[in-house]
């Protein structure tokens, strides 16, 4: 199986490394910046143009920022859709609007190309250690055929329905994560302002019902002021924009998502857009100054 991978950023680069380590050694890569390509070549991948990837590969994987970039790569003037061969599969691991996933799938179906929308949860740390969670939309037969490939990069892969269902699940995931980060920031701020050591509060609550993967991953970052991005504020803004748009189109009320989106937007406006989303606690620091 020859695999193409486009988008070698914070997530894509370690995913390529895990693919190759998992035995998928025939991997062609492309990215806009050369350092990421060179890093993947050092892992054992081969550099290729998008056209080569579309023409030669049995599976094409993308990990791109948002809907416009995925549409351009697949359906633009030099888009891969015009080069991919019948029977090939497009696996989009980007987190985008499910409406766009279905639009791309419609074009690919006319060419005999299959698609899975397979966004991930776990951020950079889980991409590095190969324990990402894949939320997948697409035909069951295609999913089952490519599930071993996904599990080379992750610890779980769940089919949620047809194309678009994966990104719908990811939007739900991002609402839960954002709301949890918001709650952790608020709770640790309360502890500090009440004169109780937030580190001890973290230790006290982590073993109870308040314990969560978000608390374990983001609590220590908030406590130490570590805002090196595993998942950037700006990317979470993008995901919640997609969640709000989807929610509005289907009539789903999402007031918590809207509220935390406003806080994330404040962070962006104050220069924290490239920080980890755990930097949300800085909003509370701003509110409590003085």
Catalytic residues: 170
Helix (H, G, I), strand (E, B) or coil at 257: helix
| DSSP category for residue 290 | -
Residue bearing tokens 């914070």: 10
Classify the C-alpha dihedral 202-205-206-211 as positive or negative. Answer: negative
Q: Residues, the chain, total?
A: 290
Instruction: Choose among 130, 74, 83: nearest CA to 102.
Output: 74
| DSSP category for residue 280 | G
Residue 170 to residues 67, 118, 140, 165, 228, Cα–Cα distance (Å): 14, 9, 18, 9, 23
Instruction: Choose among 168, 53, 39: nearest CA to 102.
Output: 168
Instruction: Choose among 162, 118, 154: nearest CA to 136.
Output: 118
> What one-character-per-residue DSSP string does 42-92 give?
HHT-EE--HHHHHHH-SEEEE--SSHHHHHHHHHSTT-GGGTPPTT-EEEE
């Amino acid at each position: 199986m020859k695999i193409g991978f486009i988008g070698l950023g914070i997530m894509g680069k370690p995913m390529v490394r895990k693919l190759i380590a998992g035995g998928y050694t025939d991997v062609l890569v492309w990215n806009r910046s050369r350092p990421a390509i060179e890093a993947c070549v050092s892992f054992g991948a081969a550099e290729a143009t998008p056209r080569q990837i579309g023409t030669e590969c049995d599976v094409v994987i993308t990990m791109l920022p948002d809907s416009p970039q995925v549409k351009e790569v697949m359906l633009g003037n030099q888009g891969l859709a015009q080069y991919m061969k019948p029977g090939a599969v497009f696996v989009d691991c980007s987190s985008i609007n499910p409406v766009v996933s279905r639009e791309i799938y419609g074009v690919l179906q006319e060419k005999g190309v299959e698609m899975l929308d397979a966004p991930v949860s776990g951020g950079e740390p889980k991409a590095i250690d190969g324990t990402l969670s894949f939320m997948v939309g697409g035909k069951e037969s295609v999913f089952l055929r490519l599930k071993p490939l996904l599990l080379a990069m992750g610890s779980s892969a769940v089919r949620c329905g047809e194309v678009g269902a994966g990104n719908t699940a990811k939007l739900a995931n991002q609402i839960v994560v954002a709301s949890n980060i918001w709650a952790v920031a608020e709770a640790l701020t309360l502890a500090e302002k009440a004169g109780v050591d937030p580190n001890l509060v973290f230790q006290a609550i982590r073993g109870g019902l308040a314990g969560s993967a978000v608390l374990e991953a983001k609590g220590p970052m908030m406590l130490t002021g570590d805002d090196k991005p595993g998942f950037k504020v700006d990317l979470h803004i993008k995901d919640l924009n997609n969640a709000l748009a989807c929610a509005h189109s289907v009539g789903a009320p999402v007031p918590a998502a809207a509220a935390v989106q406003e806080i994330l937007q404040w962070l962006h406006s104050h220069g924290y857009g490239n920080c980890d989303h755990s930097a949300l606690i800085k909003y509370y620091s701003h509110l409590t100054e003085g």
